[in-house]
Amino acid sequence: MSELREKHPEVGTCVELFAGGGGLAMGVHNAGFRPLLVNEYAKRAIETLQTNEMPGGGKWPLKPGDVRLLRNDFKELAGQVDVLAGGPPCQPFSLGGVAKGTEDERNMFPQMFRAIQEMRPKAVICENVRGLLRKSFNPYFQYILNEMRLPFVEREEGATWEEHNEVLEKLLANDSAPDSERYIVKHHPVNAADFGVPQIRQRVVIVAFRADLGLNEVNWDKFAPKDTHSDEALIHSMREGGEYWARHQEVSEEAKARAIANLPKLNYNNPKTKEKLALQPWRTLRDAIHGVDEFEGHSLPPVSEEAVNSKAQVGVISDHFGWPGARVYTGHTPNLLDRPAKTVKAGVHGVPGGESVMMMDDPTFDGSGYRYMTVRETARVMTFPDEWTLAGPRGEKMRQLGNAVPVKLGKVFADAVAAALNSVGALEKP
């Protein structure tokens, strides 16, 4: 069951920046990349990385602290890094944050650019919120892509990013930079649910390859991740096929009818619908709790009203404890068991994990029909292994999960990058 116990053949090396609770780091490592350096700033996230071993065993090569203070570390790794991965803090560009963008001191993209300059990795995987693609941020997003395409062009002292972007655009238009000094860059808007993650999570993943490796956008498109799951396939399996309910025979007829009644109808004559039906069904919150895919056969024990009100741990898997006070209010809808979970957030309405309310099958549960998801249930919809423990109080654990990249999504992109690099012999060791 566990990715933590599974040893993966090594295909290359990686560096992970802004590691947080370890989602992307685990995903890249699970694809076979051995970490040379892992950086994180937040105290509780550092404790999480210190507490847990890497998949297959061994401590993470952690360099805690402010990434801006890592100077010699990057330069010493020049020429040794196959993949640089990281999700710079998303709050500057998130609808859930203040959305100050480039003016926000939490904008760490400049540090990502510096890491590329100093380490010269063969490939880069960079994840961020879909808000980065908003119209208001589009000029800066184009600058991010241009800076990654020409990371070795020094920005003049005192120059604004707009002024530096003009320089980059002229060089790109002239196509004058040698292959060894530029990267091929492609961005991918994704929904994690389309890759088997039991959660609606809209993100953008930027992938870059050093141009002298011989890869171009056409080559990368052959390996770039394609959707493997669809909502249409889930709806069909619930409405017509019956496979979904065969997997969840414990569900009452009343709860089943309620879930089906809320589903849209499918147009089976639509060619696009037919394409979607050929994929696997989206995974749901109920799937995650009861154990499918990487959790196959390992159902989390039910959380009783007593466990909710006493904040009691349920069973032996860590972080599966009740939490009282769940309620639904205007603008705050619950998670539904038979849909993918809503986006796990680092904090909302001043409460980390505040939207993690779920509607129960039993409308009389705890007098309201609702309860909070446990930390472990939340970790499952982020596809974190059950053995992965999180440091800090409940709010901090939920914050780490909300800031993370789903492990499965990270592995999907790292696998694709490994395949692309292998296609040109870039991972072959001398």
Whether residue 341 contacts residue 199, with contact meaning beta carbons closer than 8 Å, is answered with yes
Residue 69 carries which DSSP code? G
Cα–Cα distance, 372 to 351 (Å, whole number): 13
Give the pairing type, strands 12-17 and 229-230: unpaired
CA 155 to each of CA 147, 150, 163, 179: distance values in angstroms, whole numbers, following the listed order: 10, 11, 9, 19
- Provide the H-helix boundaries in 268-374: 271-277, 285-290, 305-310
Indicate which residue of 37, 90, 185, 211 is catalytic: 90
Could you tell me whether strands 183-191 and 202-210 are parallel, antiparallel, or unpaired per DSSP bridges? antiparallel
Tell me the three-class secondary structure of 96-144, residue by residue.
CCCCCHHHCCCCCHHHHHHHHHHHCCCEEEEEEEHHHHCHHHHHHHHHH
Question: C-alpha distances in angstroms, 34 versus 12, 60, 251, 361?
Answer: 6, 10, 43, 43
Residue type, 284: T
Any idea of the CA torsion for 330, 401, 18, 1, to the nearest 10 degrees?
-150
Adjacent-strand bridge partners of 380: none
194 touches 276 (CB < 8 A): no
Enter the tokens of residue 373: 């998801």
SS3 label, residue 185: strand
Alpha helices in 264-393 (DSSP H): 271-277, 285-290, 305-310, 375-381
Q: Helix or strand or coil: residue 42?
A: coil
CB 78 within 8 A of CB 119: yes
Q: The tokens of 125 are what?
A: 């995987």
Question: At 241, is the secondary structure helix, strand, or coil?
Answer: helix
C-alpha distances in Å from residue 276, one per residue of 35, 328, 374: 36, 33, 32
356 within 8 A of 378, measured Cβ to Cβ: yes
Please indicate whether residue 126 is annotated as part of the active site: no
Which residues are identified as catalytic? 90
